Amino acid sequence: TEARDATAKAANDARDEDLDGPVGYDSAAQRKREFAADMGVQSHALRMAAEGAVAAYKEIVGETWKPFDRPVDNPGHSLDRKAAVAQMSAFD
């Protein structure tokens, strides 16, 4: 959205965004558009890699991948309480 706002004439209060940068540099709007495009490509590549890993897991293991769900040891005790008990047991 920043790239779109920097490029849109009506939405751009600071018209300096469209001005060409110094020699050899792109305008701020152009840099924002290129950054947005790079992030889009990167997120697509990461998603495809994750989908490939899930498909490979199913082929190798034979069951659908599911996220790890750690069982709770003792739901009534918080970590702070367990730490306090362990510290106090040093005095026994």
Compute CA distances 16 → 3, 8, 13, 28, 82, whole Å.
14, 12, 9, 8, 58
CA atoms within 13 A on the CB side of 37: 6
Please indicate, yes or no, whether the overall pTM of this predicted structure exceeds 0.75. Answer: no
pLDDT over 70 at 8, yes or no: no
Averaged pLDDT of the chain: 80
Q: How many domains does the chain have?
A: 1
Give residue 69's domain range.
Answer: 2-89
Give the separation between CA 48 and CA 77, rounded to whole angstroms.
40
List pLDDT tens digits, range 60-89.
Answer: 999 998 988 887 766 666 777 778 888 888
Q: SS3 string of 48-68?
A: HHHHHHHHHHHHHHCCCCCCC
